[in-house]
Structure 1
């Protein structure tokens, strides 16, 4: 009798006591945070949005954890960019129903706007790439940095959510219209802010800002590829300094993985400003205005170094 009552209490506990918030799964999951910004605006009041990659993780090198797999399996929809960006996802998504996946670069309207990207050079040499060099057959997959593509992505996400939640169509329509209007307004603000620095040249280490640079006519002079784990030698430092000087750059945008010591060596003896851009919006919270806040923050990061 005691054993029966004990088991009965356990069953009641499991079914009556609510699960902790952390165990409740989101209905819609995006691979990277900026996609979450767009999705959260469209899904506002319809369903929750959750981000797969934690802050600081790279979509190129991330490894899925068991909790990630469980999260994806229980979601109504997983939104991602494509094979060339989230290299960790395709093999796993083979086991997920196609109706629960939204690969944005599968859409012809987005494909039509993809720009050529640069090849990744994984060695310790210095490579200076002209901003006009293209490697045939490769595309820049940092599509969230294009307001034009973001607008198309918002429409695609809206249409997909309308199929999943047909009773929420009116709210989805309202959210989409609000997002597009806010985005247009933000683009005008950004264009005015960046107007005075369009002639100021700069170099980057990560050539991932091309959509934003093209849309707002920024003067990207090129990019350097060096191994962040290896201190560049005197010859390499000289080559970079010469390139910066030759092109009359006013700014060098660093990446978080480079130590300050490396960057200081590269700009030592020059008048080059050092800036940093966060292409993933790490400190921005999900909200209906998050994507526009993200674009405005990147704008300010460009201005802080170029002005």
Structure 2
């Protein structure tokens, strides 16, 4: 009985993730073998986020830290990752756009990297992680993608959903705000309006973050609709898993473009 109690209360490895989407993936693969925490909670903009009191202590206590990398988490203290850090974007050899978790394709690749990271610190549980990975991949493959989205053209407010649009065979022909947090020039906004009119674009794909009122101005000028997609797990009630996030964004695209 004493031996059983010792085993039962052995602390699980503490895994810290920069984003709730990554934390959701880690939880899916790690199951009850890990304790998972996300620094961001889903409502913050990761491009403008600053660490809160207590966040550093969580990072220092972590057995493993998963981040996206690619300058998504420039708010992390230099050197905090050391040997415990795992930059998913770098591991996948990605350059440029860091919004990997918003793609079905890259969600699977992130999960594969997560499995590798967990096996490194818990090799004795590799079979358990592999089994959960199979289940997670089957969940991804079960996500329904409507053919009505294929080869449609859209304009995007931000580059956040470029990978997802490519997954769905949607063509993004222009991104209005191409530098995070920086208002585009009047000329760029005018170019967007001209492109929307010339190509008979019916929708702008955006997210809930501040767009400097640009979408309202473009809607007034062109009559185009705005499809708001969610950039993060936890941003809205009920969207609390990575699979749920992907499904919801695809549903919104279908409603906005095919409905």
For residues 47 and 102 of structure 2, the distance between their equivalents in structure 1, rounded to whole angstroms, comes to: 17
TM-superposition CA deviations, 1:85-114 (whole Å, max 9, x none)? 1111251xx14540x21111232xx21xx3
Q: Which residue of 1 aligns with 2:67?
A: 80
Q: Contact (CA 8 Å) 2:101, 2:107: kept in 1 or not? A: yes
Which residue does the alignment assign to 1:104?
88
Q: Contact 1:205 / 1:253 at 8 angstroms: preserved in 2?
A: yes
Secondary structure at the counterpart of residue 53 of structure 1: coil
Residue of structure 2 equivalent to 1:149: 106
Residue 14 (structure 2) aligns with? 27
Of 250, 258, 283 in structure 1, the residue corresponding to residue 236 of structure 2 is 283
Select which of 55, 73, 81 maps to 1:68: 55
Residue 212 of structure 1 is matched in structure 2 by: 164
Deviations 1:239-279 (A, max 9, x none): 54322101210101233234796533321253311211112
Aligned to 2:197: 245
Unaligned runs of 5+ in 2: 1-10
Greater shift, 58-67 or 296-305, is seen at 58-67
User: For the structure 1 residues 263 and 160, does the alpha-carbon distance in structure 2 shift closer, same or farther, using more than 3 Å as the test?
Assistant: closer
CA 1:44 to 1:247, structure 2 compared with 1: closer, same or farther past 3 Å? same
Pair 1:183–1:97, CA change in 2 (3 A)? same
Structure 1 residue aligned with 2:247: 296
CA 1:142 to 1:262, structure 2 compared with 1: closer, same or farther past 3 Å?
Answer: closer
SS at match of 1:268: helix
Structure 2 vs 1, CA of residues 177 and 231 (structure 1 numbering), >3 Å: closer, same or farther? Answer: closer
Aligned residue for 1:181?
Answer: 138
Number of equivalenced pairs: 246
TM-score, normalised via structure 1 length: 0.70
Deviation at 1:153, TM superposition (A): 2.0
In 1, Cα distance between equivalents of 2:238 and 2:12? 18
Q: In the alignment, does 2:174 pair up with 1:222?
A: yes
Q: Tell me, which stretches of 5 or more residues in structure 1 are unaligned?
A: 1-23, 115-137
Equivalent in the alignment of 1:171: 128
Residue 44 of structure 1: SS of its match in structure 2?
helix
1:117 alignment partner in structure 2: none
Give the Cα separation in 2 of the matches to 1:148 and 1:230.
Answer: 30
Structure 1 residue runs of 4+, over 6 Å off? Answer: 226-233, 284-287
Contact 2:29-2:133 within 8 A present in 1 as well: yes
CA-atom RMSD in angstroms: 3.0
Give the structure with higher Rg (CA). 1
TM-score (norm: length of structure 2) = 0.82
